[in-house]
Chain A
């Protein structure tokens, strides 16, 4: 049985079996991993066939749990003799816990009282505050992508020179999507263009890959009229970590050079705690080490608000903040809706995004399966992150906060087609509303809403052209405003 002969075959797999076989080859286990699996299997089979009690484990390696060498035995459930002084310690600990509980109750009463007197800060609910400027940069990656900063200005990446080749160009519009100008850096092979980091209407960065390695970093500060080319910083390809706060100041995580594809090479360098944070003060021309990222679990997401203050989220679901440009980091707690520290630690936290200087949000997923996501908002520039509403509904992807009570997302309808969704915070719960799609034929490729009312959809028409539709009334009506340029 070949691996690609799955019982839960996706239509995409059924139609491209030859490509799937290539993928299986590309994703096959590295020899060193296969060797590790063999080691584990040998040891495990010995245990299975052994009649020894299971709590006596044969340890082959020096582990974090101890320093036993090969052949030594470790008792995992040692018996303990409870001594009188331990009992005394236990009693003292019990007294301390009671004191702590009393203290917590007093604090809680004080907070409740303050809340009733209107002293507690409540995030303003402003349903019509569509942002016209992004404070946090936006990354367009993995495919044909569209992002409208406001009603006029937008960027797209991945549109190619032929109808069959959907990758290879950077496009920009400043007339609400009517005309799209090809602003691709000159001299680049098309296949290298698939990622764009957008800071504002005029400023963007584009990493370019060569032979699997990030090689160049292009920057424009004049809406794509001209580009500067710099060497890619560091050894690795972690373009997803790149973040800028203005034309000049940015950061990227230096990840060691990639090895053949496997899960280990994806995350191990991060987990190793040996990552460096690189910083540029000249838009990417030169980089220097700002600090190290040593948090357990490794760095998952990176974001900076200004030159001093930034956040890293770890794969362990912990938020870290720096106030010195990345030289030092400390943990930052997420707060529940009442302003108290969340009791349960999230399983995963996405990077904070700022809508304005003081207002931002982040999404945090819990440890359940499937993961449930919640929104945390800041109204004070990231000093506190407070939960907004209950969990988001399941099966909503690509979530972007439009304002304090609206989220733009997408999902699937009953037939498996992509649909655009609007989540609205109503009585403390996020409610889903499907947004009407443009009635024309063809699938949705991407969409971008800059407010509840204003949105754009990119559709691939039957003739393989890419058409842009606009709504100014939250999807009630759509009109085709333009199309991506076709090139021979």
Chain B
């Protein structure tokens, strides 16, 4: 796991992929109904990165900003194309189909971290997003700032508040009231 350090460059393409692919994929996935489309566009973004020889020499935040810009452009092309050539996704109704792994998976997770999930659910969408980018994708605050287009100071302020509030929410849960905080 790389250290979360937004200003230092990710020195090679593989490290760049490992560090930023999850965040770029999540960004694209959040805008596309098809998982396969999100995979394809993420793939395209990182193929485009290979065509940018100077990319590994840039700072991490600049790299991420560039990757997001490419992803956004590809997303725009995708939307424009989809509007002109509407297609019916093969998996459009997949949500209606039972996923054999999902209920058990959800159950196990909720058993272990249900209380924390419960507390997180009560935060705003932006606050949840900050938590996921920070603690799910391990990004530096400067990198999160690039993704959500705010300043680093603002992100640090919001993230601190969010963690503080979440701790209080979580501590207030009947099952965790006795925990050391």
Give the distance to chain A from B162, nearest Cβ to Cβ, in Å: 7
**Does B1 lie within 8 Å of A369, measured CB to CB?**
no
**Does A57 lie within 8 Å of B82, measured CB to CB?**
no
Known: A367-B149, A368-B149, A412-B153. A262 touches B2 (CB 8 A): no
**Does B29 lie within 8 Å of A268, measured CB to CB?**
yes
**Does B150 lie within 8 Å of A240, measured CB to CB?**
no
Binds B, one of A163-171, A425-433, A451-459: A163-171
Give the distance to chain B from A242, nearest Cβ to Cβ, in Å: 13
A450 and B61 alpha carbons, distance in the complex (Å): 39
Partner of A370, one of B31, B120, B145: B145
**Does A259 lie within 8 Å of B29, measured CB to CB?**
no
Q: Chain A interface: which size bin?
A: 35 or more
The reply on A22 being an interface residue by CB < 8 A is yes
Give the distance to chain A from B95, nearest Cβ to Cβ, in Å: 7
In the complex, what residues of B have CB within 8 A of residue A32's CB? 35
In the complex, what residues of A have CB within 8 A of residue B26's CB? 33, 262-264
In the complex, what residues of A have CB within 8 A of residue B113's CB? 22, 25-26
Give the distance to chain B from A365, nearest Cβ to Cβ, in Å: 7
A119 and B126 alpha carbons, distance in the complex (Å): 42
**Does A194 lie within 8 Å of B132, measured CB to CB?**
no
What does the 1/0 interface line of A310-335 toward B look like (CB < 8 Å)? Answer: 00000100000000000000000000
The secondary-structure label for the interface of chain A is loop
A5 and B156 alpha carbons, distance in the complex (Å): 16
A214 and B122 alpha carbons, distance in the complex (Å): 9
**Does B150 lie within 8 Å of A371, measured CB to CB?**
yes
Residue of A nearest to B74 (CB): A65
- Complex A-B: 26 CB contacts under 8 Å: A6-B140, A8-B4, A16-B163, A23-B116, A27-B135, A36-B35, A37-B25, A40-B21, A41-B21, A54-B47, A59-B40, A141-B123, A191-B119, A194-B169, A211-B118, A260-B105, A261-B132, A262-B136, A263-B26, A267-B125, A268-B29, A296-B83, A315-B31, A370-B151, A412-B157, A416-B157
For the complex of A and B, the 9 pairs showing the least CB-CB separation, nearest first, are A267-B30, A27-B136, A263-B26, A371-B149, A61-B36, A212-B118, A143-B165, A272-B33, A6-B4
